Amino acid sequence: VSTRTYRQYCALARTLDIVGDRWALLIVRELLGGPKRYSDLLGALDGIGTSVLAGRLRSLEVDGVVRRRRLPPPAASAVYELTAMGDELGDALLPLIMWGARHALGARRDGEAFRAEWPLLVLQRAIDPAAAAGVHQTIRFDIDGSVAHLRVVDGHISVHAGPPEEPAEVAVTLDVGTLVDIGSGRVALADALAAGRIAIDGRPEAVQTAMALVGALSGTRRASRPSGPD
């Protein structure tokens, strides 16, 4: 109950007082895709202790990042979801995620978990909403055997684990290596396509639309600054 703090009146230190504990930001990441139940989170975060998960959820709730909501009568269960503040935190994480993609994400190590939703969560927030306006389609991603899909409904983009219920208009298949090469900026999307590292399935028109969306990433690349050591 001691709620350890850095005792610094600094925006970064205060942020870390809230989400700096182990697992906290990964819980937020899981919730970026939408509301999840306790057991969903437990299943997604391999290695977290049940008491740690319960504790983090409570403290994130107290701090206003997460909200616990009881589901309507039929389901006697509860879900956790991000508040508006938590959703904004998701935006603030994007540059950190891209930094990790460029510098911390080498090859996949032995035994490392991977889920196709993770990279899609970046797409969801990086796609220019204007480019998605008027679009209505489902894109299925098959990445190293893990499947997830992006649903675009007139500007609103959502991410879902697993295959879509209705067959997707567009299906994309690639391996993680290709994805990281593109996401980190080491390889251009066009080059990866030309090299046959990405398989895209669907009616040409739908594929066109999908490509336009993914091409319209806003501010994912870091702003270049003049100085800085080395």
Partner DNA sequence: CGGCATCCATTTTGATACTG
Partner DNA sequence: CAGTATCAAAATGGATGCCG
| Binding residues among 65-94 for a second copy as defined by CB under 8 A | 67, 81-89, 91-94
Cβ atoms of residues 104 and 228 within 8 Å: no
Residue 73 is a binding residue for DNA (CB under 7 A): no
Which candidate, 176, 60, 26, 179, places its Cα nearest to that of 114?
176
**Binding residue (CB under 8 A) for a second copy from 171, 172, 176, 182:** 176
Of the residues 16, 18, 26, 52, which one makes contact with DNA according to CB under 7 A = 52
Containing 50, the helix (H) or strand (E) segment is helix 50-62
How far apart are CB 44 and DNA at their closest, in Å? 12
Which stretch, 8-16, 36-44, 102-110, 150-158, contacts DNA (CB under 7 A)? 36-44
Q: Name which of DNA, a second copy, none residue 103 binds, using a CB cut-off of 5 to 8 Å depending on partner kind.
A: a second copy
Closest C-alpha to 85, from 58, 66, 62, 59: 66
Minimum CB–partner distance for residue 198 and a second copy (Å): 19
**What are the phi and psi torsion angles at 74 (to 5°)?**
-45, -55
Are 89 and 65 in contact, with CB atoms under 8 Å apart?
yes
Residue 48 within binding range of DNA, rule CB under 7 A: yes
Minimum distance from residue 45 beta carbon to DNA (Å): 9
Q: DSSP letter for 217, please.
A: B
User: If binding is defined by CB under 8 A, does position 96 make contact with a second copy?
Assistant: yes
Of 62, 113, 190, 195, the one binding a second copy by CB under 8 A: 113
Grouping H, G, I as helix, E, B as strand and the rest as coil, residue 161 is: strand
Give the angle 91-96-102 at the CA atoms, nearest 5°. 130
List interacting residues with DNA (CB under 7 A). Answer: 2-4, 21-23, 37-40, 47-52, 54-55, 57, 68, 77-78
